[in-house]
Homo-oligomer: A and B are copies of this chain.
Amino acid sequence: MIRLVIVEPEGSYNVGFISRLAKNFLVDELYIVNPHCDLEEAKRFSAKGIEYLERAKIVNSFDEAIKDVDLKIATSSIADNRGDILRKSIRPWELPKLIEGKRIALIFGRESVGLTREEIAKSDLLLFIPGNPEYPVLNLSHAVGIVLYEIWKSKGENRPTVSS
């Protein structure tokens, strides 16, 4: 079971795109903590993922959003090379074996300031998507897309390549 948790998103386009991605990669649940943007406006960007947006669970607190899961995976654009390591840091391709058979929450932070130290401390793992060391900071919904793609891949629901 995969729950996508978006914490205080600021851009309605990101919420729309994330709803679309939820449908593209068949997420089970979408939780939005305390949205700081217009969810009506988000629909414009959700395409056929609009049903996810309409069924999204809007909650007031981080704690509510991470209830009832086995494994809480926070994400950060900062790799853990700064000494103050709160959580074991993992890369996207390590996810499949870690989440097998579990109810998980994939947690994404605010466009402006990411997740707080407190939110990361409440999580079990911290995931970093590697990129240009000088600028690995992805836009929120693009980070979501990469993580969901990596999980989808591992499910083997991919048709074999047809050669012509």
Q: A135 and B23 in contact (CB under 8 A), knowing A88-B163, A146-B145?
A: yes
Known: A17-B142, A21-B142, A47-B137. 7 other contacts (CB 8 A): A45-B139, A48-B137, A89-B161, A92-B149, A130-B158, A141-B142, A142-B145
Nearest-CB distance from A57 to chain B (Å)?
A: 20
Interface size grouping (class) on chain A: 35 or more
**CB pair A129 B149 closer than 8 Å:** yes
Supply 24 A–B pairs (Cβ within 8 Å), ascending by A.
A17-B139, A20-B142, A21-B138, A23-B132, A23-B135, A24-B131, A24-B137, A49-B135, A79-B162, A81-B159, A81-B162, A86-B164, A88-B163, A88-B164, A89-B162, A93-B153, A129-B149, A130-B157, A130-B158, A130-B159, A131-B149, A131-B152, A133-B157, A138-B145
**CB pair A87 B164 closer than 8 Å:** yes
Within 59-93 of A, Cβ neighbours of B (below 8 Å) are at 79-81, 85-93
CB-based closest 8 A-B pairs: A130-B158, A85-B164, A142-B145, A24-B131, A146-B149, A26-B132, A88-B164, A48-B135
**CB pair A158 B80 closer than 8 Å:** no
Q: Is A31 an interface residue (CB 8 A)?
A: no
Closest to A141 in B: B142
Binding site for B on A (CB under 8 A): 13, 17, 20-21, 23-26, 45, 47-49, 79-81, 85-94, 129-133, 135-139, 141-142, 145-146, 149, 152-153, 157-159, 161-164
